[in-house]
Structure 1
Amino acid sequence: MSMAELVAAGAPELPEGYFYRIRPTHITSGYFVGVRRQRRFLGSEELSCTVVYPSHFDNGGEAIVDGCRRAFENWSARDTERERCGEAGRFLGDHDPRGGR
């Protein structure tokens, strides 16, 4: 299934250079659904991952699309968290009341 087919089925569209990877869990009848970023070298990097179980849905396609939505939401939330942590990082260090370091 292509990215266009996933998006047409209801999965969130990812920016260029990002993609979904869907693979079996090997232990149970579930699937890992992850958001990944293509790297210039050394393949790709996993940014977010969730597990879906097709037996909990009416059909397998719904399960995969739900997994894509959850992985996308997790990835989006982490970006926001990273921005907040970056903002807070500028306050690291000692804060001498006399203005010195």
Structure 2
Amino acid sequence: MAELVAAGAPELPEGYFYRVRETSISNLRVEIRHQKGRWRSTFVEDAYVHHDPGESAEESIVGACTRVFERWQGAAAERAAYRATTKFLGDHDPRGGR
């Protein structure tokens, strides 16, 4: 991950890492994964690498890292907003009783 961050990709929190995978002969995908123990990790979010003419391969991969990071952060904000609404679950007596 250090090479990607040095190239401009967003830094991930401790325990998370980027994985760049080849999906076919000419397609790459960037994944954010969560490390689970020494040998296991779980998928979190992904984005495909879009290579534009005039852009280096490194810039294309960093762009995908940025997109997947922003998508992941947006999903985290949505989950947090939902959790904040759960305090209202249940019956609400207008007289203040249970």
User: Shorter-chain TM-score category?
Assistant: 0.7 to 0.9
Identical columns (%): 49
Structure 2 counterpart of 1:40: 37
Among 4, 9, 14, the residue aligned to 1:16: 14
Structure 2 counterpart of 1:71: 68
- 1:49-76 deviations in Å (ceiling 9; x for gaps): 111122x252211110001111111111
Q: Name the amino acid aligned to 1:7.
A: V
Q: Structure 1 residue 53 and structure 2 residue 63: aligned?
A: no
Looking at structure 2, the residues matched to 98 and 36 of structure 1 have their Cα atoms a distance apart, in angstroms, of 49
Q: Name the amino acid aligned to 1:17.
A: G
> How many pairs align?
97
**Residue ranges of structure 2 left out of the alignment (5+ in a row):** none
* Secondary structure at the counterpart of residue 90 of structure 1: helix
* Secondary structure at the counterpart of residue 82 of structure 1: helix
TM, length-normalised to structure 2: 0.84
TM, length-normalised to structure 1: 0.82
**1:34–1:71 contact (8 Å) kept in structure 2:** yes
Deviation, structure 1 residue 31: 1.3
Looking at structure 2, the residues matched to 93 and 24 of structure 1 have their Cα atoms a distance apart, in angstroms, of 48
